[in-house]
């Protein structure tokens, strides 16, 4: 509380949003990144991310209670650093936003309660932002055209791929989306992480598989591509993980050879990417949208970026990725979406609706 008081060492003010371009502080604590960002007029003035990866790595995955504790420890320093980089003081803020879910409950609470307290003290609006919706719009944070607004926006089929989720979403218009499909078991990122663990790689294994696969042969081993030919928009990755487990069990010394490790990485990655690209493209063509996008941590993957881009180009569609720094969990995507909602008059968003109709299948 003492630190919060220092952070808030200011007099609240009461001018209206109409008087100025709003400046917004956003907080993201849904999983194992503590992040704060300052947004003004569609620009990311600062985006600070403090990753807990090293803490969770020794457990092979995120430990929810450790994550919440780390958020409590890191949140105020991270927020203060974002404000410093943005040359901004609490008096400059017009609104506060935080991820309201989905995510780890206590991790979310740490960010939400800090944001609520700040907004209450400053007497400014507080926006609770849906984590997936923020990923969904993150490809429009930067790029050409650079802003996400009614002018530059175009309908898309959007792939949201992270450690916890794999979703295909039809984005018909700004703030108008429909979930087409999701994973029935493991998420794509989970598949990267768990198969990586089987290969002895540290958590999260996605980036390391990406790196090793760059020098491997994606055709060296034939792993299954679950549901790739099925007409629906759902995914399944648990079978692929099991198949890698049996494959490695049968050849316990295979990975002693560094070349084989690179080949297994490339082959697993190719299986995941083939499914993601095929299903995204099929949905895009079915819905006749001009654009496909990808966001979320797995959208950092080099093969996914290359293959989806190539498939889109072949079909005459545009392809947008969130920039890598806005693909993994970050507060900039929360703030950018919050600002757009604020400007569209959608400021009063309830904080307790983790599941809402727009995100149900
Ligand atoms: O979006 P994110 O930061 O957090 C969640 O909401 O889950 O995504 C983290 C996931 C992890 O599973 C990680 O292994 C994966 O994204 N990831 C990657 C790459 N970079 C991160 N997977 C494959 N290739 C990458 N380059
Ligand atoms: Zn995420």
Q: Please report the pLDDT score of residue 153 as a whole number.
A: 75
What is the distance between the alpha carbons of residues 205 and 190, in angstroms, rounded to a whole number? Answer: 9
**Does residue 210 line the site of ligand 1, with CB under 6 A?**
yes
Mutate to test the pocket of ligand 1, among 108, 189, 269, 302 (most ligand atoms within 8 A of CB): 189
Mutate to test the pocket of ligand 1, among 34, 163, 167 (most ligand atoms within 8 A of CB): 163
Q: Supply the pTM of this predicted model.
A: 0.90
Q: Please report the pLDDT score of residue 346 as a whole number.
A: 77
Own/partner long-range contacts of 347-356 (Cβ < 8 Å, ≥24 apart)? 347/95, 347/125, 347/127, 348/125, 349/100, 349/127, 349/128, 349/129, 350/128, 351/100, 351/112, 351/116, 351/126, 351/128, 352/100, 353/100, 354/100, 354/101, 354/102, 355/102, 356/130
Enter the DSSP assignment of 299: G
Q: Whose CA is nearest to atom 3 of ligand 1?
A: 328
Q: Please report the pLDDT score of residue 361 as a whole number.
A: 46
Atom of ligand 1 nearest to the CA of 329: 3
CB atoms within 10 A of CB 259: 11
Atom of ligand 1 nearest to the CA of 302: 26
What is the distance between the alpha carbons of residues 336 and 334, in angstroms, rounded to a whole number? Answer: 6
Q: pLDDT tens digits, residue range 125-176?
A: 999 999 999 999 999 898 765 566 666 678 999 999 999 899 999 999 888 9
What is the distance between the alpha carbons of residues 208 and 192, in angstroms, rounded to a whole number? Answer: 9
Q: Tell me the backbone φ, ψ of residue 71, rounded to 5 degrees.
A: -60, -45
**Does residue 23 line the site of ligand 1, with CB under 6 A?**
no
What is the distance between the alpha carbons of residues 107 and 34, in angstroms, rounded to a whole number? Answer: 9
Judge contact between 94 and 23, C-beta under 8 A.
yes
133 membership: H or E segment, kind and range: helix 131-137
What is the distance between the alpha carbons of residues 269 and 211, in angstroms, rounded to a whole number? Answer: 11
Task: Report CA(190)–ligand 1 centroid distance (Å).
Answer: 8
Task: Report CA(5)–ligand 2 centroid distance (Å).
Answer: 30
What is the distance between the alpha carbons of residues 260 and 266, in angstroms, rounded to a whole number? Answer: 10
- Listed as ranges, residues in the chain with pLDDT below 70 are 1-20, 144-152, 347-361
Task: Report CA(227)–ligand 2 centroid distance (Å).
Answer: 23
Judge contact between 299 and 322, C-beta under 8 A.
yes
Q: Please report the pLDDT score of residue 300 as a whole number.
A: 98
Q: Please report the pLDDT score of residue 295 as a whole number.
A: 97
Helix, strand and coil in the chain, % to nearest 5: 45, 20, 35
Task: Report CA(161)–ligand 2 centroid distance (Å).
Answer: 8
Q: Please report the pLDDT score of residue 146 as a whole number.
A: 55
What is the distance between the alpha carbons of residues 275 and 231, in angstroms, rounded to a whole number? Answer: 12
Q: Which residue has the tokens 């009614």?
A: 150
Q: pLDDT tens digits, residue range 53-66?
A: 888 888 888 899 99
What is the distance between the alpha carbons of residues 184 and 162, in angstroms, rounded to a whole number? Answer: 14
Judge contact between 99 and 108, C-beta under 8 A.
yes
């Amino acid at each position: 509380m003492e630190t919060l008081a220092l952070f808030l060492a200011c007099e609240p003010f009461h001018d209206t949003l109409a008087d100025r371009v709003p400046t917004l502080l956003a907080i993201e604590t849904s999983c194992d990144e503590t992040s704060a960002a300052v947004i003004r007029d569609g620009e990311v003035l600062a985006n600070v991310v403090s990753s807990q990866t090293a803490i969770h790595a020794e457990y092979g995955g995120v430990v929810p209670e450790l994550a919440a504790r780390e958020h409590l420890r890191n949140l105020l320093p991270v927020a203060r650093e974002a404000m410093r980089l943005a040359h901004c003081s609490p008096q400059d803020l017009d609104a506060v936003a935080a991820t309201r879910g989905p995510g780890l409950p206590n991790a979310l609470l740490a960010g939400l309660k800090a944001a609520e307290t700040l907004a209450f003290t400053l007497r400014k609006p507080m926006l609770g932002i849906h984590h997936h919706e923020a990923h969904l719009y993150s490809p429009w944070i930067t790029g050409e055209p650079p802003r996400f607004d009614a002018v530059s926006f175009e309908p898309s089929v959007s792939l949201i791929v992270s450690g916890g989720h794999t979703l295909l979403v039809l984005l018909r218009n700004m703030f108008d989306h429909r979930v087409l499909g999701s994973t029935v078991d493991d998420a794509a990122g989970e598949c990267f992480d768990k198969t990586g663990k089987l290969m002895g790689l540290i958590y999260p294994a996605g980036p390391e598989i990406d790196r090793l696969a760059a020098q491997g042969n994606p055709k060296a081993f034939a792993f299954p591509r679950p549901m790739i030919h099925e007409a629906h928009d759902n995914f399944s990755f648990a079978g692929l993980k099991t198949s890698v487990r049996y494959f490695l069990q049968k050849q316990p010394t295979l990975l002693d050879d560094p070349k084989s490790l690179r080949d297994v990485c490339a082959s697993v990655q190719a299986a995941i990417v083939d499914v993601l690209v095929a299903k995204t493209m099929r949905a895009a063509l079915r819905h006749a949208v001009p654009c496909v996008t990808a966001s979320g941590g797995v959208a950092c993957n080099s093969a996914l970026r290359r293959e989806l881009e190539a498939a889109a180009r072949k079909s005459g569609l545009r392809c947008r990725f969130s920039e890598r720094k806005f693909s993994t969990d970050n507060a900039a995507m929360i703030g950018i979406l919050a600002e757009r909602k604020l400007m569209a008059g959608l400021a009063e968003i309830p904080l307790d609706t983790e599941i809402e109709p727009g995100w149900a299948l």
